[in-house]
Amino acid sequence: MSDEQQAAESEPSTPRKGRRRGRTRKRHVVARVLLTTAVVLAMVTGLSVVFLTRHLEGNVTVLDPRAQLSNRPDKVDTDSGPKEPLNILVMGSDARDGAGNNIDGLTGDGARSDTTILMHLSADRKHAYGVSIPRDSLVTRPECKDEDGKTIPGGENQMWNTAFALGGPACTIQQFEQLTDVRIDHFVVVDFAGFRDMVDAIDGVEVCIPEDIEDPAHGISIPAGTRQIRGKEALNYVRARYTLGDGSDIGRIQRQQVFVAAMANKVVSGGTLARPDRVIRFLNAATKSLIVDPGLKSVVDMGKLGLGFKGIGLDNIKFVTVPWAYDTREGFEGRVVWLPDAKNVWRKVRADEPLSKRLSEGSIDAGNLPGATPSGSPDGPPSGSPTTSPGGSPSPDVDEDQAAAREAAGLCA
């Protein structure tokens, strides 16, 4: 196993029980917050259309992976709307270069990824959902090509984020398409750069923290309560793992989904649209953090996407986690495997259908946030798989499971 592959597999999703299995590596978990927020805001508000400037367009980096992809799934034809459904793969990068990146002082070249989210946008422009994939998922990784056309061998029982470490966005797209039979229309990669400016541009994001977060090893200290957080404190919140909830990466995914929804909610509902200075600062920070495919190479392209989804509504944008369970095999403790229901999720995506009630059990949306005030309801469910057990079966007592899931994720009930 290569050094890069070993590094990519160094942090399992083991809950905080007994002796820790290894030193945590808090890098670009916030990438899912940056990217998904940008996509959601574009869909909901069409802001990109309003601020089409050369400056913003010049911020975006373009990467064309098509020559590196093979055996791609066919795009499924549907008659469900006036436009075609879109599948956008959101990836996080821990690239070392660039101001605001590599906040943990890691060494070495290249980039790795803690984040993958599939954003599906319906053809009728009436709903959208994001499916988070735990980075510790064990999969059969297919072979892929690097930027020079050299073949990178695949492997069994490989962690999901190894593909990005070895071959970047193209290998992650190849892996996703081969395992799900879902064709990717666009991709976006985002890093830490600009995160603080994005949060500060909207004067912070409200979170509800049930207990003090104290992690001296990583310089994290956040008091409990419901309040606005911004800048470094917001960054620390979405990075926190072992000292909050059950200490698992699954819980961290759930908190980040709530953070994304709260961020989009504030922009749309909290008066940000009436402050052009805030919106411009936000878009400037977001575009500096993006790498996209040629189909999204201009702000005009992004604006068209945003305009098409302007009326979708916060309540109709859901976030879930692919059905999962902890691997029980000896030697794979703390890793994650997909449950059979994952095939049903990808089938819904291919058919451009909303997720069923069972598959979306425990999802969150930007209009219904746990522990939220005014614009969100505190009675909505949290995120991902929490209202089910790790095995994925529905709980006979949803209220108790919701409360337990929020506690495990470090969220207020």
Pick 174 or 368 by higher pLDDT: 174
Please, what sign has the CA dihedral across residues 274, 256, 135, 71? negative
Whether residue 286 has pLDDT greater than 50: yes
What local confidence, expressed as pLDDT, does residue 214 receive? 85
**Which tens digit of pLDDT belongs to each residue from 228-254?**
898 888 878 887 777 777 777 788 888
Q: Is the pTM of this model over 0.85?
A: no
Task: Look up residue 101 and give its amino acid.
Answer: N
Pick 239 or 186 by higher pLDDT: 186
Per the structure, the complete domain to which residue 325 belongs is given by 3-409
**Which tens digit of pLDDT belongs to each residue from 295-332?**
988 777 776 776 656 667 778 888 999 999 999 999 99
Whether residue 191 has pLDDT greater than 50: yes
Stretch among 26-35, 92-101, 146-155, 380-389 having the lowest mean pLDDT? 380-389
- Give the relative orientation of helices 299-308 and 31-45 as an angle to the nearest 10 degrees: 60
Q: Rounded CA gap, 404 and 407, in Å?
A: 5
Tokens 């890093």 belong to 191
What local confidence, expressed as pLDDT, does residue 138 receive? 97
The total domain count for the chain is 1
Domain harbouring 98, CATH code: 3.40.630.190
**Which tens digit of pLDDT belongs to each residue from 87-114?**
999 988 866 454 444 444 444 456 778 7
What local confidence, expressed as pLDDT, does residue 400 receive? 67
pLDDT tier, 36 (very low <50, low <70, confident <90, very high otherwise): low
